[in-house]
Chain A
Amino acid sequence: MKASTSRSTIKLEVTRYRPSVDSEPHDQSYEIPCTDDMVVLDALNYIKDRVDGTLSFRWSCHMGVCGSCGVMVNGQPKLSCAIFLRDYKREPIHIEPLTNFPIIRDLVTDITDFMTKLKAVKPWIIRKKEKPLSEGEYRQSAEELERYHQFSGCINCMLCYSACPVYGLHPGFLGPAAAALAYRYNLDSRDQGNDERQPAIASQEGIWECTFVGECTVVCPKDVDPAAALQRSKVATAQSLLGSFILPRASGKSATEGSS
């Protein structure tokens, strides 16, 4: 490890909540050694390994891929493995569990709601009829890939749900990541599941609760731009509805494609 250049220790205030001991969440202060190359997750691991083994938090990859290490850092949803301590000049740095989710323990939140919504939009390729293996793969041109590629980078980190004031006010709202993933599969040339996803997307609490605040896109660590996906889904759904007034048997798929 590189030696520290700016400061040798750092103060953190971390939310603690152990349901068997605490009646409600409270802050606990820690002061730990710090080097310039440490991310917030390194600090949490330092505390857990050397200072206080009871601190609980989620993480896995330490490289911004698994999406499990999201926490609030000074009030902003961040991947704790992707954010350097050196970028925070003011001490103490406040570390809290992701807002808009119930706390299970310390920094660990209950993500059941998100998992339910994720499943509801069926984020996988749906075929009306699979073709036999002997006919080969479903081929896709670079252009067809390009259409959905941006929306396929989601790592399910839920930072966008924490940032979304609409989700905070209406927990029933489908939310940014699920809407973006639904849109991603609807745009995929190999997919035929538009109609199956539509009930979850086009319902009142699907995309229509979104007021285009845009914070989801601001905080997304993978540049998914869920706000754009939501807006484009609204356009596509409105178009397919208007289309169905004119041509009552028109399918929704063509409208989705038309909007991109």
Chain B
Amino acid sequence: MASANRTSVPRIEPIWWALFSAGGFVSAFLVPVHLFVNGLAVPLGWLDTDIASYARMSELINQPLVRIYLFVLIALPLYTWAHRFLFTVQDMGLARFRKPLAVLCYGSAVTGSFWAVWILW
């Protein structure tokens, strides 16, 4: 009851949610494509293995647009994990640890994003 009058509007929550939902899109549409292409089709020889050769890949990865794409592919799903995991453990009865859990979850996602930048550039 008290909550309906709680008027502080968090400025960070919409950002986590926006990253979560953008990551949800990436996980649902792009990740499965890569799982199929890079995880099945190329190793099993359904596609010409040359297209995934080391030379070709390292040439691709030197393109700035490809790096940005890979960054999005790696980083955004981390926020989907962080947000979903936080809400799940909270709903499983750990609501009183919400603050430290949030730091842990979103902190891991942010760390993962920087890590991706470090590896890609």
Q: Taking beta carbons and an 8 Å cutoff, which residues of A are in contact with B?
A: 112-113, 116-117, 119-120, 165-166, 169-174, 178, 198-200, 202-205, 208, 211, 234-235, 237-238, 241-242
Contacts and interface: CB of A to CB of B under 8 A. Distances in A.
Interface residues of B, number: 20
Contacts of B2: 172
11 contacts: A119-B4, A172-B1, A172-B3, A174-B3, A200-B7, A202-B10, A203-B8, A205-B6, A208-B13, A234-B14, A241-B14
A116 to B, nearest CB: 5
B10 A208 contact: yes
A204 B11 CA distance: 10
Contacts of A165: 91
Contacts of A166: 91
Interface in B9-32: 9-11, 13-15, 17-18, 21
A204 B18 contact: no
User: Which interface residue of A120, A165, A211, A241 has the most chain B CB atoms within 10 A?
Assistant: A241
Nearest to A237: B14
B95 interface: yes
A203 B14 contact: no
Nearest to B88: A211
Interface string B79-98: 00000000100010001000
Contacts of B6: 172, 203-205
Contacts of B63: none
A175 to B, nearest CB: 9
B1 A203 contact: no
A14 to B, nearest CB: 28
Contacts of A199: 7-9
A242 B18 CA distance: 10
Nearest to B12: A241
Contacts of A112: 1
A119 B4 CA distance: 9
B5 interface: yes
A173 B3 contact: yes
A171 B3 CA distance: 9
Q: Which 10 A-B pairs have the closest CB atoms?
A: A172-B3, A120-B4, A199-B7, A205-B3, A238-B14, A238-B18, A117-B4, A202-B9, A241-B14, A208-B13
Given A202-B9, A235-B21, 20 more contacts: A116-B5, A117-B1, A117-B4, A120-B5, A166-B91, A172-B3, A172-B4, A173-B3, A174-B4, A199-B8, A199-B9, A200-B5, A202-B10, A202-B14, A203-B8, A205-B4, A205-B6, A211-B87, A234-B14, A238-B18
